[in-house]
Amino acid sequence: MGIFKSTKKVTGKLVDVRVDKWMSWDYLTETAEHFKILLIDSVIPKKATGSETFEEAMKRLELTEADLERRKREFTQLFYFFLTLSIVIVCYALYVAFTGGMVTSIIAFCLAMYAMAQAFRFHFWLFQVKHRKLGCTIKEWLNAQIVPAPKTSLTVNKTPGKMTQTQKEKAKE
């Protein structure tokens, strides 16, 4: 058994057997923590600290009506550009898929999804500028209408055929 102890001593001096040291375990854990923070910051949106109307935002950013018209035109052009680009990429991906290049077609479909996401982004911004409302929901965008907040009570009125005696007396007066 003495031979193994001496071999371990010699090997330990020639080869570093402490995996955490030669693998730089501290650096890997620190990098993984930074990556986790970066991922959380990029995926989870920040909560708005306050709410402001479209007109307040225009004043804060010092935008004029001419600026808004220019932005509408830019958003429209960018929307059509990315929509056209995504259609072209999908056609190319289908062509490549049918000719046998599956990896290339998967990459092309991913690029098409990115272009479609950009088209959605610019169309959504265009929708908000056209309707002069910040914080529109996806439901409003899909319905292409602004849902106003209810201003009256949402209670259900009773049918006139089933009025109580006191309600009938009040109605006669």
For the chain, the domain total comes to 2
Q: What is the mean pLDDT of the chain?
A: 79
Residue 86 in this model has a pLDDT that exceeds 90: yes
- 21 with 67, same domain: the answer is no
pLDDT tens, residue by residue, 125-171: 898 888 887 877 778 777 775 555 556 555 555 555 566 666 667 66
- 64 with 132, same domain: the answer is yes
- 18 with 40, same domain: the answer is yes
Residue 30 lies in a domain: yes
Residue 155 lies in a domain: no
Phi and psi angles of residue 26, each rounded to the nearest 5 degrees, phi first: -60, -45
Rounded to whole angstroms, the Cα distance separating 28 from 20 reads: 10
Residue 158 lies in a domain: no
Buried b (16+ CB within 10 A) or exposed e, 136-160: eeeebbeeeeeeeeeeeeeeeeeee
Look at the block and give the residue holding tokens 């995926």. Answer: 43
- 16 with 60, same domain: the answer is no
Three-state SS at 53: coil
- 118 with 62, same domain: the answer is yes
Residue 115 in this model has a pLDDT that exceeds 90: yes
Residue 157 lies in a domain: no
- 85 with 18, same domain: the answer is no
- 54 with 132, same domain: the answer is yes
| Overall pTM > 0.75 | no
Residue 21 CA to its chain's centroid (Å)? 40
pLDDT tens, residue by residue, 25-84: 788 889 999 988 888 887 776 776 777 777 888 888 888 888 888 989 999 999 999 999
- 105 with 63, same domain: the answer is yes
- 104 with 37, same domain: the answer is no
- 64 with 119, same domain: the answer is yes
Look at the block and give the residue holding tokens 């056609």. Answer: 91
Domain extent at residue 41: 1-46
102, two tokens: 């599956």
The pLDDT score that the predictor gives to residue 15 is 66
106, two tokens: 């998967």
